[in-house]
Structure 1
């Protein structure tokens, strides 16, 4: 029976056992993750990043419990590797249960419960060390007696006691919620800051611990509501010497500075670490990131390979030469198979010009003179339509100018800068239009290792998602990653699309706010698709938009923030407003993982500016009809050849795929 990726890995590191965490770990070649975590550094850190950036894997891998397992429970080696006594705790997602007690009492009981969770993880680690390393735990029990006022026979009894205390709180909450009985709440044992005494327990075990700080690793900070985050932040602020924190979570849900009293300050009480910077495609690390994904894919494919032969990841995904053979169409006009496309482009152009058909045909004849490629024909049409000061009196001369520049490019290549630049801008979008016109019923084509890097934004979870979906497509045809010289492009394309569906429909389900965010993304996707498949394709590659964040009303801003938090949109900085010199607009792009749903590009270049009205319609919970109306007007603008008041214009019929065909 063939081995599959799903047998050995998961999209979520939370589902891995400790052995899998060790086996699947991979840092960048610059050890970026280790540096960001920096367990030996003094002070606390918040590690914030988008979904799938490796937060859970990072914290678990560098926890002492997991390190001991990979180092055969050698304390000295493990502590030296980590530089700290690191204790991992995944924050549960049911902490809203304390809200029933009211704000003040809820905070008090949450603090007790939270400390118990930390102590549970601490003594679970100590119990593990004692049992695996045959260390006597009597000294630990003596220290525990001092803080809990209770004698314990061994560490297991301490763990049992802590679990009972946590269970008592759960029971008290149940009676309070179901029966309005708060009597058990009053009997809860209050513990206070024992988490800042745990070093004593470790020191009592072995002198190997003496020179190391305790670092608590808290995962999934987004699971905690803001009131309770303040309590965790208070721990950061009031932390005693030798005790520090590494707290990981999503950016938009992070509240790092607020405490119960004074504010924490970045650079003083903590350091804010942006994990997304590791994956910044525009950074100097881009080449290294590519190598990281190369290593990442190879490591996972090695898990299912039948032998130890070399795995050439880039070759497995196919080359441009392989793709040309698969496509079997250079879109030459002279080829009979392309005459239908040629005639469609020609007739659509002639019909759309609001002048006599004779002159329209003459203009087309000039634009197509000497052209034997549908790619260059479409580019000539775009350059003609985008000519400055175009009007009914200069159409022939402008067409001649465009054709002259085309022929100059054939002779001079990149030295004909204007045409060369336009070709680089529009080639990908034109090829997508041509492919769809030729194959309207087929899946959008996405292939190659480079595309894997671009669509996934180098995000390990996204990469695994794509690999899983490609593997499913291969299994359907009784194949695997190694059955042929490279993965067939249809399997890759379907895999990319299925991964996009999973990312959008299943990996972003967090209640009503996520549904509202996805509705906004559907509008944005439709808008970008209309741009890419318009006659006058925008110079910017249709993937990014910009707008004034201040233009968003309160509800729209909430949905916009959710789009960022759920990684549906990616914040890529700011840009100067094109109309107001002193104003900057926020710039975001659709997560490229979603590109296959709307047949969009894998990378962005530039951005499309949105009006106040349009951006609020996009992020509004309702107004779908009004958005459709606005989008229709935008489509008319992008597909209009001439737009003069005295000329009636019929926009060219759209060639864009319908959304229903892609989902």
Structure 2
């Protein structure tokens, strides 16, 4: 990588790897104005899969960023929206359960704990405001600031801002110590959560310069809390209004809407549901993905004031970024860095490679031998034979509905004038799959997994996955001592394989089903790969499935597994495509996330699907290795012993 670029900055693909203050590192997403978070008058519920940008968005609204020391000017109305981003400490919160204490009592404890945490953050926020460029409130005013209401809730607590903060921090430490020693210690007295926060806010609003202060608390990963804790926070959300509004984020919109009281929350009255995945899909992610990568390159190269960074950091420049000339420019720059090769060019280049040509000849001769044909591969490899048609010949020769003579005649016709069956259907339907099969022995080098547009498709609307693909490319280029763009197809496809492999290994960390989900991906991807290897290649691009038959309906544990796979983006839920049965039994199709395609050397395009029964699905996700191999052989039908061994090798 170029010595002027700080490579460590490019490796930060997760928001958690950034500092609390992301001023200058956050790029305004194209849907930003539609969120209207700073002017919200009620709670919001932000959902989106891993890598969609939820956490980075919340860090941007958090006080660390809003009142960053890196900001030269901070407008007066920034005080109207003081954000606090609170990431759930799942390990600690899970300890606030059972252990000889009734759930109703734990609810009171958790509400007080939440209030204490937010109160501490509020005091940190006030300190950050005073130390920032915000002109209405400085460190002198902070030194004289008092919170008289604090003494109403905690005996002997100091009311000066400078002393109250360390006092509350000490109380929190005492509380966490009690949680670890419930039977050995007396429970410390905590202030009532909601009332205490509102009282502190009221003290702040008594100052003319802070009179419009409103606190917006964003609770991240709320789905990881215990049910009773969710109910407590649901009550906070239910009664949110300025100056205290509590909002949630999660990977999906949960169904537990109960509060700690008799009420429940609903999207009509209590909050606005914001699905970031849908917002990004509607606004088209391609230009934004290009902006983020190019902007991060500028940051890594210490070009802090580049024209691109100035425009993507500004909330006022969104309209300029929607102009077609601008979008063509940023996309064009990415296509120059990550060039792609057309399928026809790939076929042409493949036949120039001796090893690939030998494979093609062997496949053609085997197919002819199986058909007892007098023709040979030499008959098909005539001078001027069109490469894009030639690489599909092995699959066509394995179809009983086509005679070798017919295929050869069509090849000559297409090569001569570009007409016939190859022109109308055969190339279009089979070339992509034929290239995949031709490169199968060279799993890490298939050129189909290269090019900016391909990277966007494989990322499947997920910014983090896209950045991983790009940064892996830079990493491989550096290792090969070819750090400068444009990056060769060989470098890109190897990077795609490495990124895919890395993300599959990461699956084991995905919640309670992590390892089971990883094995599921390996099994499903291996089956799709084996199906692709079918000589006739009648279904060359299968990468999705539907469950549309069986003697029973899906059980609860199977529904839970699907929900987890969808929540973590392992499966992508799609509307039903055409069913072979034609009886309309299909409800939904599930596509294996295309980011995993390079590892299995299967298609990242949504084309064909596999129809399985409920029983087969159960065997796929919960069966032992013997069950799985039986399933794989039954689905692949023509699966050879060699292919069966390969299925096992992938399960590592």
Partner in structure 2 of residue 587 of structure 1: 589
Following superposition of structure 1 onto structure 2, how do residues 373-412 of structure 1 map, counting pairs within 5 Å?
373=386, 375-377=388-390, 379-380=392-393, 382=395, 390=401, 396=403
Partner in structure 2 of residue 105 of structure 1: 105
Distance of aligned partners of 1:346 and 1:64 in 2 relative to their CA distance in 1, 3 Å threshold: same
Residues 1:43 and 2:47 are matched in the alignment: no
Distance 2:379 2:428 in 1: 23
CA distances 1:142-169 after superposition (whole Å, capped 9, x unpaired): 3434554555353232222222232222
Distance of aligned partners of 1:615 and 1:50 in 2 relative to their CA distance in 1, 3 Å threshold: same
Residues 1:202 and 2:230 are matched in the alignment: no
TM-score, structure 2 normalization:
0.82
Partner in structure 2 of residue 291 of structure 1: 287
Residues 1:449 and 2:452 are matched in the alignment: yes
Distance 2:152 2:540 in 1: 67
Distance of aligned partners of 1:44 and 1:625 in 2 relative to their CA distance in 1, 3 Å threshold: same
Distance 2:226 2:488 in 1: 46
Greater shift, 465-474 or 448-457, is seen at 465-474
Partner in structure 2 of residue 62 of structure 1: 61
The correspondence for 1:320, drawn from 316, 327, 341, is 341
Residues 1:532 and 2:527 are matched in the alignment: no
Cα shift at 1:562:
2.1
CA distances 1:44-103 after superposition (whole Å, capped 9, x unpaired): 1111111111111001102233112167375534618xx623222222122101113342
Distance of aligned partners of 1:49 and 1:524 in 2 relative to their CA distance in 1, 3 Å threshold: same
Residues 1:89 and 2:86 are matched in the alignment: yes
Report SS of the residue matched to 1:608. Answer: strand
Cα shift at 1:125:
0.3
CA contact (8 A) 1:140 1:204 kept: no
Partner in structure 1 of residue 314 of structure 2: none
Report SS of the residue matched to 1:266. Answer: coil
Distance 2:443 2:170 in 1: 63
Partner in structure 2 of residue 461 of structure 1: 464
CA distances 1:392-444 after superposition (whole Å, capped 9, x unpaired): xxx64xx666666666666786x86885344223221111112235x478577
Partner in structure 1 of residue 162 of structure 2: 156
The correspondence for 1:569, drawn from 554, 568, 571, is 571
The correspondence for 2:475, drawn from 469, 472, 476, is 472
Distance 2:578 2:345 in 1: 40
Report SS of the residue matched to 1:184. Answer: coil
Distance 2:554 2:456 in 1: 33
Greater shift, 35-44 or 2-11, is seen at 2-11
Residues 1:230 and 2:234 are matched in the alignment: no
Distance of aligned partners of 1:200 and 1:147 in 2 relative to their CA distance in 1, 3 Å threshold: farther
Distance 1:322 1:629 in 2: 35
Distance 2:10 2:154 in 1: 42
Cα shift at 1:245:
2.9
Report SS of the residue matched to 2:148. Answer: helix
The correspondence for 2:351, drawn from 331, 338, 342, is 331
Report SS of the residue matched to 1:22. Answer: coil
Partner in structure 2 of residue 257 of structure 1: 257
Distance 1:13 1:566 in 2: 16
Greater shift, 516-525 or 560-569, is seen at 560-569
CA distances 1:225-275 after superposition (whole Å, capped 9, x unpaired): 3331121111111224543233111117x3452323332122221222211
Following superposition of structure 1 onto structure 2, how do residues 509-658 of structure 1 map, counting pairs within 5 Å?
509-510=509-510, 512-539=512-539, 541-548=541-548, 551-575=553-577, 578-579=580-581, 581=583, 583-620=585-622, 622-637=623-638
CA contact (8 A) 2:45 2:272 kept: yes
Cα shift at 1:599:
1.0
Distance of aligned partners of 1:489 and 1:238 in 2 relative to their CA distance in 1, 3 Å threshold: same
Distance 2:446 2:168 in 1: 55
CA contact (8 A) 1:548 1:584 kept: yes
Aligned length, in residue pairs:
613
Distance 1:551 1:135 in 2: 68
Report SS of the residue matched to 1:116. Answer: helix
CA contact (8 A) 1:64 1:78 kept: no
- Structure 1 gaps of 5+ residues are 640-650
Partner in structure 1 of residue 359 of structure 2: 341
CA contact (8 A) 1:541 1:605 kept: yes
Distance 2:67 2:417 in 1: 64
The correspondence for 1:434, drawn from 431, 438, 460, is 438
Distance 1:4 1:234 in 2: 46
Distance of aligned partners of 1:135 and 1:570 in 2 relative to their CA distance in 1, 3 Å threshold: farther
Report SS of the residue matched to 2:178. Answer: helix
CA contact (8 A) 1:577 1:585 kept: no
Partner in structure 1 of residue 316 of structure 2: none
- Structure 2 gaps of 5+ residues are 133-137, 309-329
Distance of aligned partners of 1:559 and 1:93 in 2 relative to their CA distance in 1, 3 Å threshold: same
Cα shift at 1:222:
3.3
CA contact (8 A) 1:516 1:559 kept: no
Following superposition of structure 1 onto structure 2, how do residues 404-423 of structure 1 map, counting pairs within 5 Å?
419-423=423-427
Cα shift at 1:654:
5.6
CA contact (8 A) 1:76 1:208 kept: no
Cα shift at 1:295:
0.8
CA distances 1:93-129 after superposition (whole Å, capped 9, x unpaired): 2210111334222222112111111112111101222
TM-score, structure 1 normalization:
0.81
Cα shift at 1:449:
1.2
Distance of aligned partners of 1:582 and 1:595 in 2 relative to their CA distance in 1, 3 Å threshold: closer
